[in-house]
Amino acid sequence: MKWSDIFFPTGVTIGILVLWEVLVRIMEIPAFILPSPWEIGVCAATKAPLIWPHALATALEIILGIALALVTSIPLAIFMFARPGIEKGLAPFLVASQAVPVFALAPLLVIWLGYGIWSKVFMAWVIIFFPITVSLLSGLKSCDPDFRRLFTLMGAGFWMQLRLLYWPWALPQFFSGLKVGVTVATIGAVIGEWVGAQKGLGYLMIQSNARLNTDLVFACILWLTVMGLGLWALVNFAEKRMVTWKNSV
C-alpha cells in the first residue's frame, strides 16, 4: 500500500472536519441544530457507557443479518446458476424484494417477529441478500467458456467444476457484492430499530432526537460509521487472503 493511499483520504477527512468546525463556530449555529465535530467527539467519548450497550445490540443484529444472508444467498445463487429456468422464475421476486421500500417492510416484520432482535436481523438480511446473490450469480455466469469446455472434456462433473473453476472465478465479484452488503447492513438494522425496539443505536437516536440531544444522535451515527468501515475492512482483508491471484495478474 502506498503512503498516498493513507495520507490523501486522511487529509481530506481532516480538512472536512476542520471546515465543519470553523463554519459552526463562525456562524454560531446552535448545538441542537448542528453540533461541531469536537462536541460530537466529546459526546461519543463521555457517553460511551450509555452508547456501548446499544452499539453491541446493533452490531449483533448486523452480524446475524450478514450470516443469514450468506447462508441463504450463496446456495440460491448456485442453484440459479445450475438451473437457468429457476433463475428466470425467481428473478422478478429478487427485484421486487428491493423495489419495496424498507420502511414499508419494517412495521410488518415488527408485527410478525416482535420487538426483539429478529425483526432487525431480517431487515438487515433484506438489504444484504440481494447484492450478494446477484454479484455471485454474475460471477459464476462470467466464467470463460473455454475453461468450461476444457473441464468438461476432462470429465469433470458440475460439482467438481463448481469447486475448482466456477467458485474461484466468481470470488472477486462475490466479495464486491459482500462489501456493498456489509456497508449498507447498518441501514436495515437501524430502520428496524426506528420502527420498534427496546435497545440499539437506532432506538437511542430516536430517543435522543426527541430530546434535542443532537450531539448524541451524531455520536450514534459516528459509531455506525465505524461499524460499517470495520466490516468493510474485514471483508477486504478476507478478499486479499482468499483471492491471492487478483493482484498478481
Whole-number pLDDT of residue 249: 46
Residue 78 inside a domain? The answer is: yes
CATH number of the domain enclosing 192: 1.10.3720.10
Report pTM: 0.89
Cβ proximity of 197 and 115 under 8 Å: yes
> What's the first-to-final CA gap in the chain, in angstroms?
17
Taking only the tens place, the pLDDT of each residue in 5-16 is 667 777 888 888
**Which residue carries 468450461 as its cell?**
148
Residue 15 inside a domain? The answer is: no
Is 90 exceeded by the pLDDT of residue 109?
no
Residue 135 inside a domain? The answer is: yes
Residue 46 inside a domain? The answer is: no
Is 70 exceeded by the pLDDT of residue 166?
yes
Amino acid letter, 91 = A
Total count of domains within the chain: 1
Residues of the domain holding 209: 58-242
